[in-house]
Amino acid sequence: MTDNYGASNIQVLEGLDPVRKRPGMYIGSTDTRGLHHLIWEVVDNSIDEAMAGYCQSIVIKIHADGSISVADDGRGIPVEKHPQTGISTVETVLTVLHAGGKFGGGGYKVSGGLHGVGVSVVNALSTKTEVTVERDGGKHFVSFERGEPAEPLKQIGDSKRNGTTVQFWPDGDIFETTDFDFNVVKKRLRQQAYLTKGITITLMDEREGKENAAQFYFEGGIGSYVHHLNEDKDTISKILHFEGEQDEVMVELAMQYTQEFRENIYSFTNNIQTTEGGTHLTGFTMALTRTMNKYARDNGLLKEKDPNFTNDDVKEGLTAIVTVKVAEPQFEGQTKGKLGNSEVRTAVDRFFSQRFAEYLLENPNEAKAIVNKTALALRARLAARSARDAVVRKGALEGLTLPGKLADCASKDPDVSELFLVEGDSAGGSAKQGRDRHTQAILPLRGKILNTEQSRLDRMLANNEIKSLVIAMGTAIGETFDAEKLRYKKIVIMTDADVDGAHIRTLLLTLFFRHFRELVMNGHIFIAQPPLYKLSKGKQIWYAMTDPEKEKIVAEHDIKSDNIQRYKGLGEMNPDQLWETTMDPSTRALAQVSVEDAERADQIFRTLMGSEVPPRRKFIQTHAANVKDLDI
Ligand code: 0RA
């Protein structure tokens, strides 16, 4: 890091006209994202001071007039005359593009991604910018309007402290909106606080009716981040935390294994999130897999006949943060969210494999737990593959032989065909009798059997109900999945309005979300909406889907309470009623399932099926109130 970073180290490039002409080039966009980018830009400068070891605290204020101020206790931007511009360094930094002092050789500098464009860009895109510098015993002030100097730099007093305060008023002529979102700012600052060990970041919102404040300080840095991410997960190992420099790359890693099936890995370069990953992540994954395989072989945890762990195996259940600081980052990819520097891959690989191997040797119990978890992932992967192959083979072998329980429709045209997945044999019977045989197929599913299953793909596919469903749909699954082969354009989940029904619905949605997501995205999955009540008066009959609806009918038609029937399940309806209320395309209501619905189901499913009890209990307690008719 730089110690004597004098004014002359700043490379002067060009003025700010291009920024106002093409703001998108510098901050990505002029929508709310671009607007918030102004804050990140200024805060990044303060974070740089913190990373260099000179700043402990950053205070961000959203002022009542909508302006933003960022105050730090860093060294303060130099106020002496800049040799190349003849004006002060602070004015140079604010008015000259790429004059952050963070470029040109000199210091070890790590700022900036695509948008590490400097505070001058913020100045250019603000109607007013005010900078206060406290440094060398003096307090100095300078202001700008739309990037142009307004009041020249002057000393306005004395000060015993050091620091920089930048306040800016975003230009409403440039941005589509100038309304900052407290939660967006808070989230980003929290993340930055994790990434910069020991920094205290304070956020205050002084706008009317928005009294809100947040403060972040994480002693453990990214170790705390991992702890936070795993808060309600069942963990397998301690939090591993490695930090060091390797081949001129600063590498920091924190990781912990959990009982989850998914991986949860975030990567950063120079404190900027790389959502598309890149070479740092590749280096990490390669080292992780290689080191784990070597350790497992050396210690007899993988036998000679066993295949090696794959990247997917070693990442299962892993929560990790990988962060690097690189002098000249190259960002690639669609959203410039992918690190391209190939030397970083080697550096991270070398650094991590050495430290991780050491850790495994020194902590044999932890090592065993981690390797065993990975071995489980490997076995599950192999089992899933053979189960999937078996289903595909069964489908292929049996050709047109559809499952015996399926009451297929006469039509072979997927456009008009519908497949009803019905809970239970008795409802299945009613549905078979009540349906339109030409276009509606019925597949009864036995809920109790499904319910006891775990979430592993191999277990799911070993289940006959699920196998029948896959074969009935015609699409196959996994690598051979083909959406074109779908035999029904509407797949309708028809379950009871009780807890069991909700379970089965959740499980089916999870299956669709994980293995047939394309069908969800293309809008093929629906949920039937059977009525909750039947009301009658003489020969007249009404159905109600909700309690308010029922109340309304009762009031309008003066219905006695013994003429109100609450359906406990689909099985209580006779075939005609089921047809009329739930299946007849001209009168029924179907809810189309969105990817978000399915994703939510997947999350609920994991909570319900997960091995850890507290989150499950918490979930059931929170949602019990919403379950009207706990029928367990
Ligand atoms: C240029 C040089 C030095 C510090 C800074 C800029 C600086 C910029 C910002 C922006 C917000 N807070 C900031 N703090 C510092 C190094 C100064 C030195 O060598 O003393």
Taking residues 392-404, what's their average pLDDT?
A: 61
Residue nearest to atom 7 of ligand 1 (CA): 77
pLDDT confidence of residue 499:
75
Residues in contact with ligand 1 by the CB-under-6-Å rule are: 5, 45-46, 49, 72, 74-75, 77-78, 93, 101, 119, 164
| Mutate which of 70, 75, 90, 91 for ligand 1 pocket (most atoms within 8 A of beta carbon) | 75
For residue 566, give the 3-state DSSP assignment. strand
Burial of 195 (0-12, 13-18, 19+ CB in 10 A): buried
More confident residue, 100 or 448: 448
Question: Token pair of 574, please?
Answer: 């006779």
Evaluate whether 264 touches 280 at the Cβ level (below 8 Å). no
Helix (H) or strand (E) holding 146: none
| Nearest-CA residue for atom 6 of ligand 1 | 77
- Which DSSP string do the residues of 247-289 spell out, in sequence order? TTEEEEEEEEEBS-SS-EEEEEETTEE-TT-BHHHHHHHHHHH
Looking at the chain, the whole-number percentage of residues with pLDDT higher than 90 is 61
Question: Residue by residue, what is the 3-state secondary structure of 6-55?
Answer: CHHHCCCCECCHHHHHCHHHHHCCCCHHHHHHHHHHHHHHHHHHHHCCCC
Catalytic residue list contains 423: yes
Tokens of 254: 């924190």
CB atoms under 10 Å from CB of 212, counted, come to 14
Q: Which of 260, 418, 458, 496 is catalytic?
A: 496
Instruction: Give the angle subtended at the CA of 49 by the CAs of 44 and 53, to the nearest 5°.
Output: 135
pLDDT tens digits, one per residue of 363-376: 999 999 999 999 99
Asked if pLDDT for residue 378 goes beyond 70, the answer is yes
What mean pLDDT value characterizes the chain?
86
pLDDT tier at 397 (50, 70, 90 boundaries)? very low
Do 419 and 490 meet the contact criterion of CB atoms below 8 Å apart? yes
**The predicted structure's pLDDT at residue 458:** 64
Q: Which residue has the tokens 């000179």?
A: 54
How far, in Å, from the CA of 126 to the mean position of ligand 1? Answer: 21
Pocket probe for ligand 1: among 73, 77, 135, the residue whose CB has the most ligand atoms within 8 Å is 77
Tokens linked to 440: 């509606």
Write the residue with the smallest CA distance to atom 3 of ligand 1: 77
Q: Give the ligand 1 atom nearest the CA of 119.
A: 10
Superfamily of domain 7-216: Histidine kinase-like ATPase, C-terminal domain (3.30.565.10)
Share of the chain above pLDDT 70, in %: 86
How far apart are alpha carbons 539 and 60 in whole angstroms? 69
Q: Is 496 a catalytic residue?
A: yes
Ligand 1 atom closest to the Cα of residue 135 is: 20
Q: What is the DSSP letter of 316?
A: T
Which residue would you say has higher pLDDT here, 143 or 467? 143
Ligand 1 atom 10, closest CA: 45
* Closest ligand 1 atom to 6 CA: 19
CA–CA distances in Å: residue 91 to residues 94, 327, 346:
5, 25, 41
Distance 163 CA to ligand 1 centre (A): 9
**528 Cα: distance to centroid of ligand 1 (angstroms):** 62
Residue nearest to atom 20 of ligand 1 (CA): 75
Write out pLDDT tens, residues 508-545: 888 888 889 899 999 999 999 999 899 999 899 899 98
d(CA 420, CA 576): 16
Residues in contact with 571: Cβ distance below 8 Å, sequence separation at least 6, in sequence order: 424, 426, 427, 430, 496
Highest mean predicted confidence (pLDDT) among 115-119, 181-185, 622-626: 181-185
Closest to 274 in 3D by CA, of 195, 336, 193, 360: 336
Residue nearest atom 12 in ligand 1 by C-alpha distance: 46
Contact residues for 245 (Cβ-Cβ < 8 A; gap 6+): 251
Would you state the torsion angle of the CA atoms of residues 134, 139, 145, 150, taken in this order, to the nearest 10 degrees?
-140
Going by CA atoms, what residue is nearest to atom 16 of ligand 1? 5
pLDDT of residue 453: 43
Task: Kindly report the CATH class assigned to 401-530+575-626.
Answer: alpha beta
What are residue 398's DSSP bridge partners? none
Distance of CA 476 to the CA centre of its chain: 29
pLDDT band per the 50, 70, 90 thresholds, residue 571: confident
Rounded to the nearest 5°, which phi and psi values hold at 296? -65, -40
* Number of Cβ within a 10 Å radius of residue 166: 25
Any catalytic annotation for residue 171?
A: no
Candidates 44, 500, 580, 602; catalytic one: 500
Taking the C-alpha atoms of residue 399 and residue 401, their distance in angstroms, rounded to an integer, is 5
Local confidence band at 592 (pLDDT 50, 70, 90 cut-offs): very high
How remote is the CA of residue 144 from the centroid of ligand 1, in Å? 18
Task: Tell me which of 442-446, 616-620, 621-625 is least confident.
Answer: 621-625
Q: Tell which one of 48, 122, 133, 136 to mutate to probe ligand 1, the residue whose CB is within 8 A of the most ligand atoms.
A: 48
Tokens of 511: 């299956």
CA 90 / ligand 1 centre spacing (Å): 9
**Cα of 202 from ligand 1 centre, angstroms:** 20
Is the separation of the CB atoms in 553 and 515 below 8 Å? no
CB atoms within 10 A of CB 73: 20
Instruction: Give pLDDT, residue 630.
Output: 30
CA separation for the pair 143, 80 (Å, rounded): 16
The pairing of strands 200-205 and 212-217 is antiparallel
Distance 419 CA to ligand 1 centre (A): 66
Q: pLDDT (tens digit, 9 = 90+) per residue, 295-347?
A: 999 999 998 899 999 999 999 999 999 999 999 999 998 778 899 999 999 99
Nearest CA to ligand 1 atom 8: 77
| CA of 2, closest atom in ligand 1 | 19
Ligand 1 atom at shortest distance from the alpha carbon of 55: 14
Q: What predicted TM-score, i.e. pTM, was given to this entire model?
A: 0.65
Domain 222-381 -> CATH class: alpha beta
Distance (angstroms) between ligand 1 centre and the Cα of 77 equals 4
Q: Give the pLDDT score at 585.
A: 94
Question: For 465-546, where are the E strands, in sequence order?
Answer: 490-494, 525-528, 533-537, 540-544
Q: How far apart are CA 477 and CA 392, in angstroms?
A: 7
pLDDT band at 610 (very low <50, low <70, confident <90, very high): low
Indicate whether 21 pLDDT > 50.
Answer: yes
Q: Which of 91, 423, 458, 465 is catalytic?
A: 423
Distance from Cα 190 to the centre of ligand 1, integer Å: 23
How far away, in angstroms, is 174 Cα from ligand 1 center?
Answer: 27
Tell me the β-bridge partners of 289: none
- Residue 386: its H or E element: helix 364-397
pLDDT of residue 569: 82
**631 — pLDDT class (breaks 50, 70, 90):** very low
**Predicted pLDDT at 452:** 42
Give the pLDDT mean for 97-110: 45
Which structure tokens are listed for 212?
């809100």
